[in-house]
Amino acid sequence: MMDKLARAVRLDELKSAAFYRDLAVEFFATFLLLFIVGGLSAQFGDKPSIVQIGLAAGLGVGLIVWGSASTSGGHINPAISLAVCLAGHITVLRGVGYSIAQCAGAYAAILLTKSLTPADEIGEFYGVTRLNPALTPLQGVVMEVVLTFFLAFTIYAYVDKERPELNPCGPLMIGLSVTMTHMFGVPYTGCSINPARSFGPALASGYWQDHWIYWVGPILGSMLAIFSYDYTIRSDASLQKLKSSLLCSAPASNADGRDEDNKAIQMNDEGNTDDVQNLTV
């Protein structure tokens, strides 16, 4: 038990320069994303349309993923980092570290945007996500779960080694999923689908009403997407694999003496995983 816990946490990563490099990449990648989001909150006479918001967010995410995926994996989203951590695809230390770096980058970006934008143009809330008054918090959570599911499912299909044909267009598809969810979800919840995206503006503005929605919803949606893909879509998906995961037991061996789960993601020496080199947003 203690050996499994040690492998899951991997405190030895604290001695790795690559670990701190990856934290820095996640900080700056999320910084760039929230700089775009903060800029969209500037009015300059006219509020940005939902189409403008969707295209800016989607294009921004696609380009940031394309540039950062080969190093840290380009998560730029605590919901993704924590979900793949709980699924056992990255270490606990890396999952928590990424999430902290992402939130710090988000806050720093909003502060910079605030300093560059006239006070009467940026508005009161600096791009904070707010629940539509016509919705209940429960409806808001469910909406964020569904919207994040779209995003996370697209991401997990992109990093599936058994489907290499998806790799060249992965960042584009991820960006399009962000555009689609924003065009639909902004009127409902502001379409966070990323706790860091909501945390930065909330901390800068002091507006915390219903903020928990933007953590619970995206994390649940991301976890549902990852486990759904792992146990229904992947080429090695099976009921036995699902049962083994739920019971926290070793998967059954096949006739060749290999684990049925032998294609599952394996941890490498840096705490990343072979399949999750490009996990994003």
Q: Give mean pLDDT, residues 214-237.
A: 87
Q: Is the dihedral of CA 162, 164, 165, 167 positive or negative?
A: positive
Domain boundaries, the chain: 9-246
Q: Give mean pLDDT, residues 158-179.
A: 83
pLDDT at 103 over 60: yes
Superfamily of domain 9-246: Glycerol uptake facilitator protein. (1.20.1080.10)
Rounded Cα distance between 51 and 40, Å, is 12
Query: Per the structure block, which two tokens stand in for 281?
Result: 């947003």
Question: At a CB cut-off of 8 Å and minimum separation 6, what does 138 contact?
Answer: none
User: Kindly report the CA angle at 154 between 151 and 157, in degrees rounded to 5?
Assistant: 150
pLDDT range class, residue 43, cuts 50, 70, 90: low
The string of pLDDT tens digits covering residues 121-161 is: 776 677 899 999 999 999 999 999 999 999 999 998 888 77
Task: Output the pLDDT for position 260.
Answer: 37
Rounded Cα distance between 93 and 16, Å, is 12
Q: Give mean pLDDT, residues 202-226.
A: 95
Mean pLDDT over each residue of the chain, to the nearest integer: 82
Rounded Cα distance between 238 and 133, Å, is 43
HEC sequence for 91-147 = CHHHHHHHHHHHHHHHHHHHHHHHHHCCHHHHCCCCCCCCCCCCCCHHHHHHHHHHH
Q: Give mean pLDDT, residues 65-88.
A: 90
The string of pLDDT tens digits covering residues 211-220 is: 999 999 999 9
Q: Is the dihedral of CA 224, 225, 226, 228 positive or negative?
A: positive
